[in-house]
Amino acid sequence: MNATTHTSVHSHCSFCGIEQTPATPMIAGAEGAICEACVKLADQVVSNWGRKRVLTELHGPIPKPKKIKEILDTYVVGQHLAKEILSVAVYNHYKRLKHESGDQGFNHLHHEVELGKSNILLIGPTGTGKTLMASTLAKTVGVPFVVADATTLTQAGYVGDDVENILVRLLEVADGNVGRAEWGIVYLDEVDKLARSPEMATNTRDISGEGVQQALLRLVEGSIVKVSQKGKKRDGGGDEVALDTRNILFIAGGAFPGLEKHVSKRLKPSRSGIGFHAEPVDNEEKPDLEALLNETQPGDLRHFGLIPEFIGRFPVLAPLEPLSEEALISILTEPKNALTRQYQKLFSYENVELEFTEAALKRIAQKAIERETGARGLRSILEHVLRKPMFDVPSIDGVQICRVDEEMIDGLRDVEVVISDPALSAAEEDESLQPEDSAFAATDKKRASSSH
């Protein structure tokens, strides 16, 4: 009876003024009524208020692209194009969040421009800094950030991680806050391993390759995905929450070995003509790897083994250049986490100064290029060279300096050790007469003589 009275009194929506009809029912209150459309708009406004509060808690002022790049420069050497692309993408991600959480009224929401996202695909040889840039961004940005390994993913229903587990991890990083998780950034590492093998039969299910690509389409494009907060899809629906992935920025990276062959074939088609009128084949002019990666097109990725739908959801291609000798030397010495600084810190705990000559640094970079492992090869080389000093120095008294030169990098002689004890000078002369003994063996003899 009361509801009927309210309906007869409030025949117009108190917000938009639309008249009540059988097709446009009203929700009546004590002092007014509201239509279904305004209820939905009010829900958007209230949600935006909550998002705005969350955004304020996440970060203060929006970091400018130059500031983001400066932070990346302190950890990653070179790769200026890729760092600019990532900086702009993260900056636009923040602007999109500001736009989504804008405190706007009903009239503005009707004509609001929806800002889309531009997912990024990083392409470059191994050891060029793709994963390092992603982990550095994780420290920089104020939104939840997750690095996911694509090699652990399998198609739903098979042993392995489902693609929804990426969102579960994002939700965990956001401390269970769905609003924060929906504004996160996901880095998919090793996506080149998802490429379909051309040798595989067409009727064979590629559960960790093409199947994963197809499963990722829905997440990357943007949809409502139900995930369990416990990370188990079959625990029951009680703990499931719905995540909207429209505003989650996806950054994918991979080495894509052999991709340059597809690019080269497209840029320089094979000449199969024979006879006197056939054009001669010029085998000397071969573009370098950097030039080929810069010319990468979506068609080349399709020939590599990625499906067109997956490629289309990563409209921004960011190539990473192979590291030169000068870049590798800079990686050894300049960043905050430079390898030479790390080992010098380890030796400093023994009160020993570790020195590298310029020739030694250059030779380390040359050996890393020969191994074709990029910056990852630098640590392997240093570990091999410094293994013996790191084993012996803690047991030797009076060591002041460990000096590394070019011959020591090539294994022609052991790392030079400088000992400060003057009582050992005589033993040092004896050592000079025995070149076949290593510096560490001679040091043991000196210690024995000094003890006697």
Q: Edge-to-edge strand order for the sheet containing 145-149?
A: 145-149, 185-189, 249-254, 120-123, 316-319
pLDDT one-digit tens code per residue, 8-33: 456 888 888 888 888 888 888 878 88
Mean pLDDT across the stretch 51-69?
70
Quick check: 247 and 183 in contact, CB under 8 A? yes
Give the model's pLDDT for residue 239.
72
Range from 55-64, 225-234, 257-266, 302-311 that averages highest in pLDDT: 302-311
* Average of per-residue pLDDT values in the chain: 77
Task: Decide: helix, strand or coil at residue 402.
Answer: strand
Kindly report, residue by residue over 427-444, the tens digit of the pLDDT. Answer: 544 454 344 444 444 444
State yes or no: pLDDT of 234 exceeds 60. Answer: no
In degrees, rounded to 5, the angle at the alpha carbon of residue 202 between the alpha carbons of residues 201 and 207 is 85
Q: What is the pTM of this model?
A: 0.69
Can you say whether the dihedral through the CA atoms of 174, 179, 181, 185 is positive or negative? negative
Helix, strand, coil share (%) of the chain residues, nearest 5 = 50, 15, 40
Report percent pLDDT > 70 for the chain.
73
Task: Determine contact, residues 301/309, Cβ cutoff 8 Å.
Answer: no
pLDDT at residue 325 tops 70: yes
Name the one residue in this structure whose structure tokens are 């009876």.
Answer: 1
**Confidence band for 235, pLDDT divided at 50, 70 and 90:** very low
Q: How confident is the model at residue 107 (pLDDT cuts 50, 70, 90)?
A: very low
Query: How many other C-beta atoms lie within 10 A of the C-beta of residue 273?
Result: 9
Comparing C-alpha atoms, which of 143, 146, 36 is closest to residue 100? 143
What is the share, in percent, of the chain residues with pLDDT greater than 90? 16
Q: What is the pLDDT of residue 270?
A: 57
Q: For the CA atoms of 292, 294, 298, 301, what is the dihedral angle to 10 degrees?
A: 50
pLDDT score of 329: 92
pLDDT attached to residue 49: 64
Query: Is the predicted pLDDT of residue 80 greater than 50, yes or no?
Result: yes
The two most distant CA atoms of the chain are separated, in Å, by 114
Model pLDDT for residues 389-425, shown as the tens digit of each residue: 999 999 988 889 999 999 999 888 888 888 875 554 4
Q: Which residue has the higher pLDDT, 315 or 50?
A: 315
| Residues 397, 402, 405: CA angle, nearest 5 degrees | 155
Better-predicted residue by pLDDT, 46 or 60? 46
Read off the pLDDT of residues 298-312 as tens digits, 9 standing for 90 and up. Answer: 888 888 888 899 999
pLDDT at residue 91 is higher than 50: yes
pLDDT tens digit sequence for 116-165: 788 989 998 888 888 888 888 877 777 788 888 888 887 665 666 778 88
* Tokens 């705990």 sit on residue: 349
Tell me which DSSP letter residue 129 carries. Answer: S
Q: Which of 89-103, 234-248, 321-335 has the highest mean pLDDT?
A: 321-335
Stretch among 188-202, 213-227, 266-280, 352-366 having the lowest mean pLDDT: 266-280
Q: Which structural domains are found in the chain, ordered by start? A: 1-53 (no CATH), 62-198+205-254 (3.40.50.300), 325-451 (1.10.8.60)
Q: Is 32:10 a contact under the CB 8 Å cutoff?
A: yes
79 three-class SS? coil
Whether residue 188 has pLDDT greater than 70: yes
Mean pLDDT of 103-121: 63
